[in-house]
Amino acid sequence: MGWGSTRGPAQPPRSLPLPFSAAGRKGVRVSARTWAQGWGRRTVIGVPYLFLVLFFSLPFLVVLKISVSEALGVRFQDLLSWDDGTLTLRLKFSNYIYLTTDWLYLGTYLKSIGFATLNTLICLAIGYPFAYFMARSPAAWRPALLMLVSLPFWTSYLLRVYAWKGLLDDNGIVNNLLRWLHLIDAPIKMMHTAFSMMVGMVYTYLPFMILPVYANLVKMDLRLLEAAADLGSTPLKTFWLVTVRLSIPGIVAGSMLVLIPSVGEYVIPELLGGTSTYMIGQVLWDEFFKNIDWSMASAVAVSMVVLILIPLAVFNHYQTRGVGRGSGT
Amino acid sequence: MNSLIGRVWLATGYAFLYIPIATLIVFSFNESKMVTLWSGFSLHWYGEIVHDRELITGFVTSLKIALMTATASIVLGTLAAFALVRYRNFVGRTAFIAHINAPLVVPEVITGLSLLLFYVACARLFGIFGERGIVTIWIGHTSICTCYAAVVIQSRLLGMDKSLEEAAMNLGCRPFQVFVLVTLPMIAQSLVSAWLLTFTISLDDVVTTSFLSGPGVSTLPIVIFARARLGLNPTVNAVATLSVAVVSIGVLTGSLWMARSERRRAEEQAAAYREGALQVARRTAQASS
């Protein structure tokens, strides 16, 4: 690179005036350097931190505020008001009361969590064996197999969801194929049902399950399996007691990556689902864009965050515990 | 037996992942307007999208936003990754980690809604962000993509050999020089993959964008989403095929370039170590004589 030989080991910063005593120069240089490092450190941490606080967390506080504000036309009333020496704090909880009493919201919430859980379970059932067979395939194949799983990530998610519309429609490719094979006479109704939505969900989220589980399984020490076999364990028992047990952190990571975003999914139920699959993300969207009820949309968002933050905290807990255990051994 | 089940399972899984994309591509060359019934080969729909003003403007807008987002995200993401890897204890580190992880899992409807309401509040209080368009979308995308970039770059930094940086420091490099001359070339690949990843995320985003875009500004995914909602549309298939082609070429060139630079870096490193060992040997010989 050509910079190593020309630069002396201890060159003073160029901006310093020359007639300094050696001791004085050294002192200045050290403090200048630590100051520069402190400044560098502050920039490195501060800039992204400030950006994310400003454009990610602060907006949440705005949502929280609007969810308890009274709408005055297009504006919202201030929460705190000062009148005749009285400070009043007005919080409007009617949105939240509505959320917990109206079956539209409560039912949709439960249904969303149900669909997301079902999605996670199906992804686990398909993805775990998939990741297992990937991890146990010949080492030379693994990079290619891994690449093939992550490649769909690079293509548009919107277009991949749209592709299922063409496959599952009444006049879609699957129905046409079945009719051409004379297996059916009338088209099977698949589009705009819970089935089509679940297919789209599993399709979209499957790689999120496969990748963390694979990363975990591929690291496993296979001598443990030999040890278990030597100690008289059957293959099935070894699989359950050693492989599955050791891969729990991968399963937890994958499940959270599938579960949390799929609770608030909007595009998939909108494109592939029907009236029976109305989800909470769609409720938020419709409150905002169709009913133009900003404070109700905000209340839905806040309650979603509360519902999502709890599993997230559990996830973090598991993850840090896993890391601690890993570094301890 | 076990390996047979394994092969069948893997083959079925890959078929599940790729058949939808394959059908999109095949039916983009279909002659008829029916997207699902084959009637003959034609490039008609590609000719159609060239004259489709809505699609072209949407694409240009998306491209601008994606370029800006990817660039801003890798700058912020590199800083964030450094903060996470190099500074093990600072005030608010746990909260910082939460800020990096949360945007990856928070549903987009929430990110979009909260940022829009924030813009509205800013417009009322300070008179900024009043007009929604490319800039407001850019900020929204960047706040999500920074986190993806940080995760990608962080994993590279964690796997990096720190002794080279320490050597540069010992030879009198200032921290910034160390960063530019030693660290940056070593993490260059992860910067490229982070740039490409954030570029595609931004180019693809529909939910956040819908909240943050103003009247008259629509990106390609918004146009596609509007058409896909109405039903099947062969122009969407043509767009899909083009994007798959571009992505495949991009990923292929990217990975070839990465493999090449990885090899070259390994060679350079080995040469440097050989040189160092030679010098040590020479010095020992001199000292002993």
- Domain positions in chain B are 52-233
DSSP states of A302-319: HHHHHHHHHHHHHHHHHH
A247: helix, strand or coil? coil
What average pLDDT does the segment B225-231 reach? 88
pLDDT value, residue A5: 37
Lowest average pLDDT, out of A24-28, A155-159, B123-127, goes to A24-28
As beta bridge partners, residue A88 has: A81
Interface test with A, best of B109, B212, B232, B275 (most A CBs within 10 A): B109
pLDDT in tens, B93-135: 888 988 888 888 788 899 999 999 999 989 888 888 878 889 9
User: How many beta-carbon contacts under 8 Å exist across A and B?
Assistant: 238
pLDDT at site B75: 95
**Average pLDDT value for residue range B212-234:** 88
Nearest CA to A214 out of A320, A135, A285 is that of A135
Mutate to test the interface with A, among B5, B105, B193, B212 (most CBs of A within 10 A): B105
The CA-atom distances, in angstroms, between A242 and each of A65, A248, A323, B74 are 49, 10, 19, 40
Nearest CA in chain A to B119: A59
Contact B155, B181 (CB under 8 A): no
- Whose tokens are 């939505």? That residue is A197
Give percent of chain A above pLDDT 90. 29
Residue A16 predicted with pLDDT over 80? no
- Written as six digits, the tokens of A59 are 């907006």
Range scoring the smallest mean pLDDT among B32-46, B145-159, B230-244: B32-46
| For residue A107, pLDDT beyond 50 | yes
Q: Do A36 and B175 touch (CB under 8 A)?
A: yes
* Closest to B17 (Cα-Cα) out of A127, A134, A118: A127
Fold of B52-233: MetI-like fold (1.10.3720)
Give the confidence band of A7 by pLDDT, cuts at 50, 70, 90: very low
Q: Which two tokens stand for residue B225?
A: 């989403």
Axis crossing angle, helix A294-328 with helix A248-263, rounded to the nearest 10: 170
Q: Cα separation of B198 and A128, whole Å?
A: 28
DSSP state of A277: G
Average pLDDT on B12-41 reads 85
Alpha-carbon distances, residue B221 vs A265, A275, B105, B191 (angstroms):
16, 24, 21, 25
Does pLDDT of A263 surpass 80? yes
- The minimal CB distance from A55 to the residues B6, B9, B115 is found for B115
Find chain B residues with C-beta within 8 A of A281's C-beta.
107, 109
Quote the longest CA-to-CA distance of chain B.
Answer: 88
The confidence band for A36, taking pLDDT boundaries of 50, 70 and 90, is: low
pLDDT at A172: 83
Spell out which residues of chain A touch residue B240, defining contact as CB-CB under 8 Å.
155-156, 159, 162-163
User: What value of ipTM does the predicted structure carry?
Assistant: 0.83
Listed residue (B12, B145, B180) closest to A55, CA to CA: B145
What does pTM read for this prediction?
0.82
Mean pLDDT of chain B: 87
Q: Does residue A74 have a pLDDT over 70? A: no
> Bigger pLDDT: A28 or B281?
B281
Beta bridge partners of A72: A75
pLDDT tier for residue A315 given thresholds of 50, 70 and 90: low
CB contact under 8 A, A308 and B107: yes
Q: Residues B55-88: pLDDT tens digits?
A: 999 999 999 999 999 999 999 999 999 888 888 8
CATH of domain A102-328: 1.10.3720.10
Indicate the pLDDT class of residue A8, thresholds 50, 70 and 90: very low
**Average pLDDT of span B262-286:** 84
CB A214 within 8 A of CB A146: yes
